[in-house]
Amino acid sequence: MNRLFAAVLLCLVVAFHSYTGVAAQPKWQHTDIVVEGPSLNNPAETGGIAIYSREQSIIIITDRRVEVRVFTILGQLVSRGDVQPGTSVLNINSRGIYIVKIENMTQKVAL
């Protein structure tokens, strides 16, 4: 009886895991858009990296390749990727407060 219960439980766990799946992370896209207005951080203090928020997007302007990680306020990873020099945008289809980590810099972003 215990083996049967364990087998059924294992099947349920596997079925639930495959049903929920893992959502695809949003990807950074290089863009030519022009961003006006003050950035959320001071680029002079962050090695020339500027972070902006527009509607449901996070925008990064940098002069070098950097690794960017974006987390929810609860610490769940939303996106991780390399951002190339220039302007890059991450479209997030959910409003909220996000934490952006670039190198040794951390910035709160509200969308």
* DSSP type of residue 30: E
Number of Cβ within 10 Å of residue 98's Cβ equals: 21
Q: For 71-105, how does the pLDDT look when each residue is reduced to its tens digit (9 = 90+)? A: 999 999 999 999 999 999 999 989 999 999 999 89
Handedness of CA 82, 36, 72, 17 (dihedral sign): negative
pTM recorded for the entire structure: 0.76
How many angstroms separate the CA atoms of 1 and 62, rounded? 61
Confidence of residue 19 (pLDDT cuts 50, 70, 90): very low
Ramachandran area for residue 12 (φ above 0: left; ψ -120 to 50: alpha; else beta): alpha
Only one residue has tokens 């190198």, namely: 103
How many angstroms separate the CA atoms of 97 and 70, rounded? 10
Q: Is the model's pLDDT at 31 over the cut of 80?
A: yes
State residue 33's pLDDT score: 87
